[in-house]
Amino acid sequence: MTHLTSLIKKESHSSDDGYRVDDIDHPNGWNWKELDMLFGMGFEPEGETRLTFKDKTQTHHIDNTPKEQLKVTVYKNKDGYWLIVNERKHVFKTFIKMMEFIDDMGSMPV
């Protein structure tokens, strides 16, 4: 019998599972245009393989309770581009598809 915890542990990726951000020579790794676009959006390096964006604005709901702070992590490995938004994982085969998803997220009402 397979337990949910064993599936979750198999799916989790270690920090060395992604392509290094500074290894531009890797044939499947990041390219300058992708990194330049993400840095321009406010992403910052976190470790050797990941980029993160943390919303630094403190916003509140109508009832004055603080909203959850947005944390977005991006990394790339052999499976594609991983976008983790507040612990929810999304995988994209292309950078363009990931950017379209991010663009759609920004146009959604919160």
Q: What is the pLDDT along the chain (110 residues), one digit of tens a residue?
A: 555 454 444 444 444 479 999 988 888 899 999 999 999 999 999 999 999 998 766 565 566 666 667 889 999 999 999 999 988 999 999 999 999 998 888 754 44
Cα separation, 18 vs 80, whole angstroms: 9
| Cα radius of gyration (the chain) | 16
Look at residue 93 in the predicted model and tell me its pLDDT: 96
Beta bridge partners of 58: none
Look at residue 62 in the predicted model and tell me its pLDDT: 62
Question: At CB < 8 A and 24+ separation, what contacts does 25-28 make?
Answer: 28/78
Single-letter amino acid, residue 39:
F
User: What is the reported pTM?
Assistant: 0.72
Place of tokens 């990931």: 98
